[in-house]
Structure 1
Amino acid sequence: MIPPLDLTLTPTEAVRALERALRDGLDPETAPPRTGVPVPAGELLLMPAAAGRYAGVKVAGVAPGNPALGLPRITGAYLLLDGPTLRPLALFDGAALTALRTPAVTALALDRLAAPVASHLVLFGAGPQAHGHLAALAGIRPLRRVTVVARRPGPAAALVDRARALGLDARAGGPDAVADADLVVCCTTARTPLFDGRLVPDRAAVAAIGSHEPDAREVDTALVGRSALWVEARAVLAEAGDLLAAFAENGPLPLANLSELVTGAAVVPVDRPRLFKGVGMAWQDLAVAAAQYELHGGGSPGPGPDGLRAEAGET
């Protein structure tokens, strides 16, 4: 029997696991691609990765009709394997892993893209990812204010209450709140832009992580056109609808990836907004799952030089 493990990593520990993987040489451009298969309930995703001492695979379901049934939109399981032998090591709840690693990826990016004194977060969405992003960003940034922008008053109020419990000045607001934002995070199921990108200040850093679909977008062409652009990897641009739609209108623009951001290989400008588009990649699940496994006492060393290294493309 493969032991199921709970995810007890803090959001900040998940951020550091991702950072270590990239600093130790993992190249997101060589990571295996995600496979998506349409099914009647939505989409099934298969996300394999291998790096150093570990391999793993996430089988995830995206079921848009689930929330109406009181069920999570994202389902699935993650199987962590011993890299050299492919022997199963541990099983994790796939939805819980996604809810932990996605905010950690955003926090890793925004921690470097945001101004040092950035303190006002405008957060679009009020679901599990919004709650996860609030926790992750509050753990690594000097936040003081949070404005929640959401369609439903009840979930928005719950997220405001959670932000206040963290000691933050929090309230619900509208899309125009981006005009006074230092950080903007979009984690919604929107298919069309959520706000007017012309309102975003030059000082702001923005993350759009709500979809991995080429025909869905949370930010508009105006924001893309005036921003410095960052992605997890150029190899996943085909899933980045926010960028694809803008490029189709005005032509492609230069991109830098998350590894270049973390290692300092790409310069972060300060004279315009910085936009990070995330779609989720399998190496991120592996980095966080391996860190959790080793925290549990299942292995050593951690995801450093002898753990997660540059062999992300091995399958």
Structure 2
Amino acid sequence: MTLPHLDAAAVLALGPAGAADAMQQALREGLDPSEGVARSFVDVPAGELIVMPAAGARHVGVKLVGVAPGNAARGLPRIGAVYVLFDAETMQPVATLDGTALTTLRTPATSIVGLRPWLRRAEGPQQVVVFGAGPQGVGHVDALAAEVALGAVTFVVRTPARVTLPADGPAAGAAVLATDDPRVADALRSADVVVCATTARTPVFDSSLLGDDVLVAAVGSHEAEAAEVDVAFAGSATVVVEDVATALRECGDVVQAAAAGVVAEADLVPLAAVARGDVAVTGGRVLFKGSGMAWQDLVVAEAVLDHAGAPSQ
């Protein structure tokens, strides 16, 4: 039998709500992110190979991510990825999936799981500011639109002229502003949700501009030296993380806030606790910091497989 390959269209057909529901259900059923294997990095001549394995009751999976910084000059994407699923009992390959599309889908869905209890308390259309207009920035708008009514959506980028937004969908027709545009400050003052999906190494906004009940998702980095959100915001917010140990190792937004003494390890709220409903949902600022974990890819890949009706063994 030919090994099925689920292309980008088949992966994205699950939708962000379907991916979020799958992860939330897995966490409610006892999946423990702390038991996952950390990603590994292999230096190669063109850049880097990232290996992200995970094991579950039904399947074992691994995402292979190639990072080639020189691809911009070639007119190629900087990142390419493939996902491979194996049957958990026989360890025979079951399917391959477009790994880039899988990442595009599961990352915003994870943010939704982390912020969902607060989003569901929201009243009226939500004003959204997104730093970065790539697949993750647009994907977060799609994911938010599946959860709440959206008001104005503003993308903030370094070079607006290079941005092409989708012709339809929630991001269509959104404002695109340069980072130094004075209107960015106004957008931040009225924002209900802010998404950071950039490659920035330093904070992308001044948190003093934000309101008292704003929700922020920061997903652009997985390095202790990089942070999209300033220490002051982390210190003022409920901080939700995928896994406490992982956040203190990989998430610069959290690592730097902890080093500054404004966030303690005991203050960090695990994603599983949010998914199970074990967290008091009150007013105030909330920061979800995600670095992307291999268990998310496996859970969503299985959901994609089921949605597509592909053989599971």
Answer whether TM exceeds 0.5 for this pair: yes
CA distance, structure 2, for counterparts of residue 52 and residue 287 of structure 1? 11
Task: Give, as a single letter, the amino acid of the residue that structure 2 aligns with 1:170.
Answer: A
Counterpart selection for 2:97 from 92, 97, 100: 92
Contact 2:141–2:170 (Cα < 8 Å) also in 1: no
CA distance, structure 2, for counterparts of residue 50 and residue 132 of structure 1? 26
Contact 1:143–1:168 (Cα < 8 Å) also in 2: no
> CA RMSD of the aligned region, Å?
2.1
User: Measured at CA, do residues 155 and 119 of structure 1 come closer, stay the same or move farther in structure 2, by a change above 3 Å?
Assistant: farther
Unaligned runs of 5+ in 2: none
Unaligned runs of 5+ in 1: 301-315
- Alignment pair present for 1:208 and 2:221: no
Q: Which residue of 2 aligns with 1:171?
A: 175
User: Measured at CA, do residues 42 and 241 of structure 1 come closer, stay the same or move farther in structure 2, by a change above 3 Å?
Assistant: farther
CA distance, structure 2, for counterparts of residue 13 and residue 104 of structure 1? 8
- Alignment pair present for 1:218 and 2:228: yes
User: Measured at CA, do residues 106 and 68 of structure 1 come closer, stay the same or move farther in structure 2, by a change above 3 Å?
Assistant: farther
Task: Give, as a single letter, the amino acid of the residue that structure 2 aligns with 1:207.
Answer: A
Q: Which residue of 2 aligns with 1:246?
A: 257
SS at match of 2:174: strand
Counterpart selection for 2:269 from 256, 261, 273: 256
Q: How much has 1:143 moved relative to structure 2?
A: 1.0
CA distance, structure 2, for counterparts of residue 268 and residue 67 of structure 1? 43
Q: Which has the higher contact order (CA 8 A, sep 6+)?
A: 1
How many residue pairs match? The answer is 297
Q: How does 1:52-67 map to 2 (within 5 A)?
A: 52-67=57-72
User: Measured at CA, do residues 299 and 284 of structure 1 come closer, stay the same or move farther in structure 2, by a change above 3 Å?
Assistant: same
- Alignment pair present for 1:48 and 2:53: yes
CA distance, structure 2, for counterparts of residue 93 and residue 15 of structure 1? 18
Q: How does 1:191-202 map to 2 (within 5 A)?
A: 191-202=201-212
Contact 2:109–2:143 (Cα < 8 Å) also in 1: yes
Q: How does 1:281-296 map to 2 (within 5 A)?
A: 281-296=293-308
Moved more, 101-110 or 215-224: 101-110
Q: Which residue of 1 aligns with 2:122?
A: 116
CA distance, structure 1, for counterparts of residue 60 and residue 133 of structure 2? 33
Q: Which residue of 2 aligns with 1:279?
A: 291
CA distance, structure 2, for counterparts of residue 221 and residue 167 of structure 1? 29
CA distance, structure 1, for counterparts of residue 162 and residue 116 of structure 2? 26
SS at match of 2:6: coil
TM-score (norm 1): 0.88
Q: Which residue of 2 aligns with 1:306?
A: none
User: Measured at CA, do residues 223 and 68 of structure 1 come closer, stay the same or move farther in structure 2, by a change above 3 Å?
Assistant: farther
SS at match of 1:130: helix
